[in-house]
């Protein structure tokens, strides 16, 4: 696992995203999302694939599930020493894998089910538990050499690496898991080489993000997030999206539609044509959250314990298709990937630029876009 080698050349971006969720919270196998993302193999180049599943650890739903990568046993030991004063590990084990010929050069892959030590919580009495977890993840990724936190939420996990996504799915044995939300990514690296930590999804708490496109405002977004304690240590533009959702929705308490407006706001000429009250609100969002604006072509799929969100840039320079059948919501880069797992959907549509597609679990105020905050759990 190498995080400091970069290519001089820039490749044209492809990338594929796919997501499946049950709004009733019913759990289903990860096999379907593997089939869906495999349908778009040509959008990837074998340098990154990954998945996130929700509801996969019901027996340990009250513990933070840290999926981690290590360069070496020395790095693993150093990380455990660092985390030992901060957390209590209730259970840990290697992340189960199976031999897949095309998956090589893997790091040490381990998962820890843990909780914050009372003594550390008392030391940081001014922080919420979620803030403490965020602080821990930032410090491990930035300061503990050779260690990387893939995911840190409850009752969920991220599985990713270098390879085509369907191979990564088989490698991590995701057909043996069940969850109520699955998202997937096939990577075509744009500005950095493919490495295990740079594959998608990117996660924080129970947020998980997959992305097709390029965030050309990465530098501005990264500096903006640093003001709030988020450190972007992974040198991949998608990382800022995961942290931005956590900042805007968990920390600042913005409704989903306002958070998405901050990241993909209307153009100024569109604002000028709005009714006065709407225009004043849009101008305020752009002024207050200028550093949160994501520039460049993108389609983004975000999941957390309360639902799944898909949205595009305002010009819609990257594809995104959605479908429903019963309580199931499907979002993907291509309609064919949806029909691979849902032959006869009730409805199929394409996302509008800057307008989120929202799926919620358990009837959570879909109309207002107010989703359950990260940390809430679903059966």
Q: Is the dihedral of CA 74, 151, 91, 177 positive or negative?
A: negative
Confidence of residue 353 (pLDDT cuts 50, 70, 90): confident
Q: Tell me how far apart the alpha carbons of residues 307 and 105 are, in angstroms, rounded to a whole number.
A: 34
Q: b/e map of 198-224 (b: 16 or more CB within 10 Å)?
A: bbbbbbbbbbbbbbbbbbebbebbbeb
Predicted structure pTM score: 0.90
Taking the CA of residue 196 as centre, how many other CA atoms within 13 Å lie in the half-sphere pointing to its CB?
23
- Of 314, 312, 300, 299, which Cα lies nearest the Cα of 269? 314
The pLDDT value given to residue 190 = 65
The mean predicted confidence, pLDDT, of the chain is: 89
Asked whether residue 375 carries a pLDDT value surpassing 60, the answer given is no
Asked whether residue 306 carries a pLDDT value surpassing 60, the answer given is yes
Q: b/e map of 66-91 (b: 16 or more CB within 10 Å)?
A: bbbbbbeeebbebbbebbeebbeeee
Q: Tell me how far apart the alpha carbons of residues 178 and 170 are, in angstroms, rounded to a whole number.
A: 14
Asked whether residue 291 carries a pLDDT value surpassing 90, the answer given is yes
What are the backbone dihedrals phi and psi of residue 335, each rounded to the nearest 5 degrees, phi first? -60, -35
The correct answer on CATH 2.40.160.40 for the domain covering 16-360 is no
The pLDDT value given to residue 128 = 96
Confidence of residue 343 (pLDDT cuts 50, 70, 90): very high
- Cβ of 333: how many Cβ atoms within 10 Å? 26
The pLDDT value given to residue 366 = 35
Instruction: Determine the average pLDDT of the residues in 307-332.
Output: 93
Q: Tell me how far apart the alpha carbons of residues 299 and 274 are, in angstroms, rounded to a whole number.
A: 25
Distances (CA, A) of 185 to 37, 60, 169, 336: 7, 26, 10, 15
Are residues 32 and 177 in contact, defined by beta-carbon separation less than 8 angstroms? Answer: no
3-state helix, strand, coil in the chain (%, to 5): 30, 25, 40
The pLDDT value given to residue 14 = 75
- Of 241, 232, 234, which Cα lies nearest the Cα of 264? 241
pLDDT in tens, 133-191: 999 999 999 999 999 999 999 999 999 999 999 999 999 999 999 999 999 999 877 66
Instruction: Determine the average pLDDT of the residues in 323-346.
Output: 96
Confidence of residue 367 (pLDDT cuts 50, 70, 90): very low
pLDDT in tens, 234-275: 778 889 999 999 999 999 999 999 999 999 999 999 999 999
- Cβ of 164: how many Cβ atoms within 10 Å? 22
DSSP annotation of 133: H
Residues 6+ away with beta carbon under 8 Å from 104: none
Asked whether residue 57 carries a pLDDT value surpassing 90, the answer given is yes
Are residues 68 and 147 in contact, defined by beta-carbon separation less than 8 angstroms? Answer: yes
* DSSP-assigned beta bridge partners for residue 359: 308
Are residues 347 and 323 in contact, defined by beta-carbon separation less than 8 angstroms? Answer: yes
Whether omega before 298 lies within 30 degrees of 0, making that bond cis, reads no
* Percent above pLDDT 70 for the chain: 91
pLDDT in tens, 198-225: 889 999 999 999 988 888 899 999 999 9
pLDDT in tens, 85-115: 999 999 999 999 999 999 999 999 999 999 9
The pLDDT value given to residue 171 = 97
pLDDT in tens, 62-79: 999 999 999 999 999 999
The pLDDT value given to residue 352 = 85
The pLDDT value given to residue 11 = 42
Asked whether residue 5 carries a pLDDT value surpassing 50, the answer given is no
The pLDDT value given to residue 251 = 95
Residues that are catalytic: 15
Q: Tell me how far apart the alpha carbons of residues 323 and 32 are, in angstroms, rounded to a whole number.
A: 15
């Amino acid at each position: 696992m190498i995080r400091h080698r970069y290519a001089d050349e820039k490749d044209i971006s492809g990338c594929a995203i796919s997501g499946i969720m049950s709004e009733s919270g019913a759990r289903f196998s990860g096999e379907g999302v593997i089939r869906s993302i495999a349908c778009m193999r040509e959008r990837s180049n074998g340098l990154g694939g990954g998945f996130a599943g929700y509801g996969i650890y019901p027996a340990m739903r009250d513990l933070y599930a840290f999926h981690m990568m290590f360069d070496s046993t020395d790095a693993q030991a150093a990380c455990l020493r660092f985390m030992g004063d901060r957390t209590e590990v209730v259970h840990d084990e290697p992340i189960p894998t199976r031999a897949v010929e095309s998956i090589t050069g893997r790091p040490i892959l381990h998962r820890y089910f843990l909780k914050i030590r009372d003594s550390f919580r008392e030391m940081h009495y001014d922080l919420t538990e979620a803030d403490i977890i965020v602080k821990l993840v930032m410090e491990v990724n930035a300061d503990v050499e050779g260690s990387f936190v893939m995911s840190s939420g409850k009752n969920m996990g991220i599985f990713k690496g270098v390879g085509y996504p369907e191979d990564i799915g088989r490698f991590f044995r995701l057909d043996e898991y069940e969850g109520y939300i699955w998202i997937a990514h096939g990577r075509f690296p744009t500005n950095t080489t493919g490495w295990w930590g740079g594959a998608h999804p990117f996660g924080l708490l129970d947020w998980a993000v997959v992305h097709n496109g390029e965030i050309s405002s990465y530098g501005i977004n990264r500096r903006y997030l640093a003001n709030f304690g988020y450190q972007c240590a992974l040198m991949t533009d998608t990382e800022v999206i995961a942290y931005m959702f956590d900042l805007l929705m968990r920390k600042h308490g913005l409704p989903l539609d306002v958070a998405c407006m901050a990241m993909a706001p209307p153009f100024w000429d569109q604002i000028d044509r709005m009714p006065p009250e709407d225009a004043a609100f849009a101008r305020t969002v752009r002024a207050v959250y200028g550093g949160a604006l994501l520039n460049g072509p993108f389609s983004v799929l975000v999941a957390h314990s309360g639902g799944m969100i898909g949205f595009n840039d305002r010009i819609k320079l990257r594809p995104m298709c959605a479908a429903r059948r019963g309580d199931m919501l499907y979002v993907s880069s291509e309609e064919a990937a949806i029909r691979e797992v849902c032959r006869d959907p009730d409805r199929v549509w394409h996302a509008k630029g800057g307008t989120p597609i929202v799926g919620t679990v358990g009837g959570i105020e879909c109309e207002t876009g107010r989703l359950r905050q990260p940390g809430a759990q679903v059966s």
